[in-house]
Amino acid sequence: MPAQAGRWGRFSEHQARQLQRQVQAKEERIVELEMENAVLHLRLAQCRGMTGEAGSAAAGLCPRCLEQDPPRRSTPPAAPQLHRGVQKLKQDIKALRASSLAAFRACWEHLQDGLSAVEAAVQGAQLCHQALLAWQSKVGQLERSLQEADARYQLEKQKRRVLHNRLVELKGNIRVHCRIRPLLPFDKEFGDPASQDRVYGPEESQQVVFGDVCPLLTSLIDGYNVCIMAYGQTGCGKSYTMLGPHSKEERIPPWGPHSDLGIMPRAAAELFRLIAENPSRRLQVDLSIVEVYNNNIFDLLAKARGMAASGCRREALTTKDARREVPLLTREPVHSAEDFVALAAGSLRLRAELATLVHARSSRSHLIITATLTRGPAAGGSPADQQAERPPLEGRPASGSRGGASCGRAPAGSPGAQQPKEQVHAKLQLVDLAGSECAGVSGVTGSALRETSFINRSLAALADVLGALSERRGHIPYRNSQLTHFLQDVLGGDAKLLVMLCVSPCRKHVAETLRCLGFGARARQVQRGQASGGSPAPRKPR
C-alpha cells in the first residue's frame, strides 16, 4: 500500500502542475488580448480625433466656399475629398470597433474557460490532497505496524539464537560420534559393543552423517567457532567421511546431487545457503587450507600457486595478549559452494601421501580447511539487526581482516592507505587428521617411519590437550604440537567441536579401534558451556 500511495501522490502532483501550466498560459493570453484591446482603443481615439479635426476643417471651409466669387466656385472644391476621407475614417472606426468587440468577446470566452479550468483544477487538487492525507495516514499506520513486527521479530530471533545454543550445549559443546567402516572382503567382524554420543552403522549414508552436523553450522552463523574433526586409524574412512569418494586425478566428486558427497562439500553448500537467507549480516567467507606435516604447517594455497615448499612453511604464534596468529597465511575469498569445493580440490592434490601395507594412499599429514566468516564494513541492515547480532569474535587481527598480510595476496590500495577493517564473525575448521598407525602393521621404513612418528606424537598431543581440558587444569599444553596450537581457537572457550571417530569393524584392528574409542571417551569428558536457565554470558576475547 505504501507503493500505491506513492504512485497516487506522484499522479496528483503531475496533474496539478499540468493544470497550473494551463492556467498560466490562459493568463498570458488574457494579457496579450488586453494589450491588443488597449492598442485598438488608442487607434480608435486617434481616428476620432482625426474625424473631429476633419469635421472642423470642413465646417470652416464651407462658409469660405460660399463667399467665393463664381469663378472661384467653378474650381474643384476640396470638400468632397474631405467628405470621402471622413467616410473612410468612419468605416475604419466601425471596422476597428467590430474587431475590438470580437477580440473582447474572444478574450472574455477564454477567460471564462480558464476560470472554469482553474476551478476544476482546484477541486481536483483538493480531492487529491484529501486522498493523499488518507494514504499518508494509512502509510503511518503500516509503518508503525512494521516497526512493531520488526521488534517482535528481533526478540524472537534473539530467543531462537539463545535456545539453539542452549540445545547445542545440552548435547555438549564437544560431541563424539563414531562411524564404523563397512566390512571389506578380507575383514572379520568385531562385535564388541561401544557407546558414544552417536554411532553410525556401516550401512548409514553420508547424508545421515551430515544431518547431525547441520545444527553446528547454525551455531557458526550465530558467531561461534565450529570444528568438525575426523579421527581414527588409517584406512578407516576419515577422508571418505570428510571429502567423499576421490581419486588422485579428481580429489572431490564433481559438484551436483551426489549421494556420497562428504561433510566438507555439504557443509559448504549449507553455509552459503544460510548466508543467503539473511543478506543483512553482510557475511563474507575466506578460505585457507594447510597441512601439518612432520609438525610443520604448510600453506597449500600458496603451494598451489607454484611457491617452493620452503616458502610455504608457516608457524602458529601466540601474541602477548594470548591470541593465536599465523603470519603470512594465504586466504582466498569464496562466493559460492562451487568456488569453495574447487579451491579445496586444487589444494588437496598437493597433500602428502604414501602407499603403505594398510592403505594405497595413506595421508601423511593432517589437513585443516578453515573458512573464516567476516562481517564487511559496508553499511547495511537495520540498527535492530545490528543490535541483535551476536558480538563478533575479538582478537586475531592477522586472520581477522582481509587487509592482513598473506602469502601471494597484497592489500588493495597504496601502501599507506587506510583500509576499512572487517570483523571476524566466526571460523569453521574441517579437520581430516592423519590416521594413527602401527609401524609393524603398515610396514613403513625410513622417512615414512619418521612421518608415522610425527603423526602419532601430534595425535598424542591432541589427546593430552583434551585430557587437560577434561581435568580442568590451569595450564593447557596447546603449544606441545603445531596441530594443537593451530586448533587452539576451536578446542577451548565456547567453540563447538564434533569429533568423528572412524573405526574398523574387523578383529585384527581391535587395538587401534580401542585406542580410538579411548580418545573419544576422553573427549567426551570435557565439559564446557553447560546450558543454564539464563542468557549466555558475553564472549571474552581469546
DSSP 393-441: PP--HHHH-TTS-BTTBPPSS-TTPPPPP-EEEEEEEEEEPPPB--HHH
Residues 230 and 350 in one domain: yes
Q: Which helix (H) or strand (E) holds 59?
A: helix 2-67
Q: How large is the average pLDDT for residues 177-199?
A: 56
Residues 178 and 142 in one domain: no
Burial class (CB in 10 A: 0-12, 13-18, 19+), 243: buried
Is residue 385 included in any domain, yes or no?
no
Which of these three, 99, 130, 147, is where a domain ends? 147
At 284 the pLDDT is 92
Q: What is the number of helices (H) and of strands (E) in the chain?
A: 16, 14
Residues 363 and 431 in one domain: yes
DSSP string, 96-119: HHHHHHHHHHHHHHHHHHHHHHHH
Is the predicted pLDDT of residue 526 greater than 50, yes or no? yes
Is residue 163 included in any domain, yes or no?
no
Report d(CA 324, CA 456) in Å as an integer: 24
DSSP at 505: -
Query: Does the reported pTM lie above 0.75?
Result: no
Is residue 115 included in any domain, yes or no?
yes
Residues 96 and 245 in one domain: no
What tens digit of pLDDT does each residue of 116-138 get?
A: 888 888 888 899 989 999 999 99
What tens digit of pLDDT does each residue of 216-250 get?
A: 998 899 888 999 999 988 778 888 888 887 655 55
What tens digit of pLDDT does each residue of 441-493 get?
A: 555 566 667 888 888 899 999 999 988 888 888 888 998 999 999 998 888 77
Q: Which domain holds residue 43?
A: 2-147
Annotated binding-site residue numbers for ATP? 232-239
Which of these three, 112, 147, 182, is where a domain ends? 147
At 290 the pLDDT is 93
Strands (E), 184-293: 198-200, 226-232, 283-293
Residues 109 and 208 in one domain: no
The CATH number covering residue 440 comes to 3.40.850.10
At 69 the pLDDT is 52
Confidence band, pLDDT 50/70/90 cuts, at residue 42: confident
Q: Is the Cα dihedral 477, 483, 489, 495 positive or negative?
A: negative
Is residue 397 included in any domain, yes or no?
yes
At 517 the pLDDT is 86
Is the predicted pLDDT of residue 309 greater than 70, yes or no? no
Is the predicted pLDDT of residue 17 greater than 90, yes or no? no
Is residue 319 included in any domain, yes or no?
yes
Confidence band, pLDDT 50/70/90 cuts, at residue 401: very low
Residues 6 or more apart whose CB falls under 8 angstroms from that of 338 comprise: 255
Is residue 535 included in any domain, yes or no?
no
The CATH number covering residue 19 comes to 1.10.287.1490
Is the predicted pLDDT of residue 391 greater than 70, yes or no? no
Is the predicted pLDDT of residue 272 greater than 80, yes or no? yes
Is residue 160 included in any domain, yes or no?
no
At 403 the pLDDT is 34
Residues 260 and 404 in one domain: yes
Residues 459 and 372 in one domain: yes
| Cα dihedral 254→259→264→265 (10° resolution) | 40
At 361 the pLDDT is 57
At 348 the pLDDT is 81
Residues 179 and 141 in one domain: no
Annotated binding-site residue numbers? 232-239
Confidence band, pLDDT 50/70/90 cuts, at residue 532: very low
Collapse the DSSP code of 222 into the 3-class scheme (helix H, G, I; strand E, B; otherwise coil) and give the result.
coil
Collapse the DSSP code of 499 into the 3-class scheme (helix H, G, I; strand E, B; otherwise coil) and give the result.
strand
Residues 239 and 337 in one domain: yes
Q: How large is the average pLDDT for residues 86-101?
A: 86
What tens digit of pLDDT does each residue of 428-452 get?
A: 999 999 887 665 555 556 666 788 8
At 286 the pLDDT is 94
Residue for grid cell 574398523: 504
Pull the grid cell for residue 88: 473612410
Is residue 220 included in any domain, yes or no?
yes
Residues 111 and 212 in one domain: no
Average pLDDT value for the chain: 76
Total structural domains within the chain? 2
Pull the grid cell for residue 472: 580442568
Q: How large is the average pLDDT for residues 59-75?
A: 61
DSSP at 525: T
Pull the grid cell for residue 148: 512493531
Q: How large is the average pLDDT for residues 320-341?
A: 87
Q: How large is the average pLDDT for residues 77-84?
A: 77
Is the predicted pLDDT of residue 195 greater than 60, yes or no? no
Residues 200 and 111 in one domain: no
Q: Where are the alpha helices (DSSP H) in 172-213?
A: 206-211
Contact 351, 367 (CB under 8 A): yes
Residues 77 and 202 in one domain: no
